[in-house]
């Protein structure tokens, strides 16, 4: 059992565990709406679109989180502008801004050689370097996500399942969509320093997608997603410690692996005893 206990005796591993659990709560809450709304591509684009803002903030000596948030907002406004002023779909706008913002970020980084090490941390995160300040920030972000999810529950549900009906009921789906985008930005900006922009997508989507296979309600799906995130964090840190692998990547990889194991198990169970399986929540 030493392989299990030894990592937990180290203070920075325990902080990493707490940080990962807080990220899992935040991403479980927001990720459920993302999966049900069909916004996975937008979430991925936002996470990559933060690079120019982070690079500029780094070079200017400003707060990286503010730079990331500003860049994410520019990304969203750009997608909205392309969709509104052309006949192209939102996916096309997302793809254009995704590539454009990422290219701009790489160009800025290429002009600052000293940014190379920090770029690695930006892309892949460093959960083992989590500080007390990171824990406080993540806890606050998770609390905000929970409060918004409760307050905007009805508009979000209407937006997810029937946007036209939401208009009929006067639930303001456009504002609900903007609030949901704000939650995505909050989750990505709050989490990128811990798990990186390339890996935050794993914790944002994978646990929620897995939970959607079994959850009978949105609340149950969120709870299952959080538990899956916790298990991926714990298992990832243990595997990383013993196998000497990158902690953030290991956590995200296990989160994705959980989905495929669950999907295969559900497929096998459906053939044997289909009546006992819950009906998954419809995903757009």
What DSSP assignment string belongs to 255-279?
HHHHHHHHHHHHHHHHHH-GGGSPP
pTM: 0.85
pLDDT of residue 117: 47
Question: Which of 279, 226, 229, 234 minimizes the C-alpha distance to 256?
Answer: 229
CB 226 within 8 A of CB 208: no
pLDDT of residue 277: 58
pLDDT of the chain, 284 residues: tens digit per residue: 666 767 778 888 888 899 889 999 999 999 999 998 888 888 888 887 888 888 888 788 888 888 888 998 888 888 888 877 777 777 788 888 888 888 888 788 777 665 554 566 666 677 878 888 888 989 999 999 999 999 988 888 888 776 666 666 665 777 888 888 889 988 988 887 777 776 677 888 999 999 998 878 888 999 999 999 999 999 999 998 888 888 888 888 899 999 999 999 888 877 776 555 566 666 55
pLDDT of residue 230: 94
The residues, any chain, with a CB within 8 Å of residue 224's CB and separated by 6 or more, are 207, 210, 211, 214, 215
- Which residue is it, tokens 């254009």? 96
The dihedrals phi and psi of 217, each to the nearest 5 degrees, come to -150, 170
The residues, any chain, with a CB within 8 Å of residue 211's CB and separated by 6 or more, are 28, 32, 220, 221, 222, 223, 224, 225, 228
pLDDT of residue 214: 85
CA distance 45 to 30: 16
Neighbours of 168 (CB within 10 A): 9
């Amino acid at each position: 059992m030493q392989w299990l206990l030894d990592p937990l005796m180290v203070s920075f591993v325990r902080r990493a565990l707490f940080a990962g659990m807080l990220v899992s709560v935040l991403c479980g809450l927001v990720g459920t709406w993302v999966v049900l709304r069909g916004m996975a591509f937008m979430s991925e684009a936002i996470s990559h679109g933060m690079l120019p803002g982070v690079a500029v903030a780094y070079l200017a000596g400003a707060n990286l989180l503010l730079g990331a948030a500003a860049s994410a907002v520019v990304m969203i406004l750009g997608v909205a502008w392309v969709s509104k002023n052309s006949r192209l779909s939102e996916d096309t706008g997302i793809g254009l801004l995704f590539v454009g913002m990422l290219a701009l970020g790489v160009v800025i980084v290429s002009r600052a050689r000293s940014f190379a090490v920090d770029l690695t941390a930006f892309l892949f995160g460093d959960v083992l370097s989590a500080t007390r300040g990171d824990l406080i920030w993540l806890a606050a972000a998770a609390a905000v996500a929970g409060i918004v999810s409760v307050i905007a529950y009805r508009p979000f549900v209407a937006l997810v399942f029937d946007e036209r009906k939401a208009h009929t009921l006067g639930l303001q789906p456009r504002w609900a969509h903007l609030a949901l985008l704000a939650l995505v930005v909050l989750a990505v900006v709050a989490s990128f320093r811990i798990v990186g922009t390339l890996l935050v997508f794993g914790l944002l989507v994978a646990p929620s997608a897995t939970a959607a296979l079994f959850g009978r309600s949105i609340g149950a799906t969120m709870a299952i997603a959080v538990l899956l995130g916790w298990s991926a964090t714990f298992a990832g840190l243990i595997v990383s410690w013993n196998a000497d692998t990158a902690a953030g990547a290991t956590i995200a990889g296990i989160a994705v692996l959980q989905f495929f194991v669950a999907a295969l198990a559900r497929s096998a169970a459906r053939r044997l005893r289909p009546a006992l399986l819950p009906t998954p929540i419809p995903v757009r």
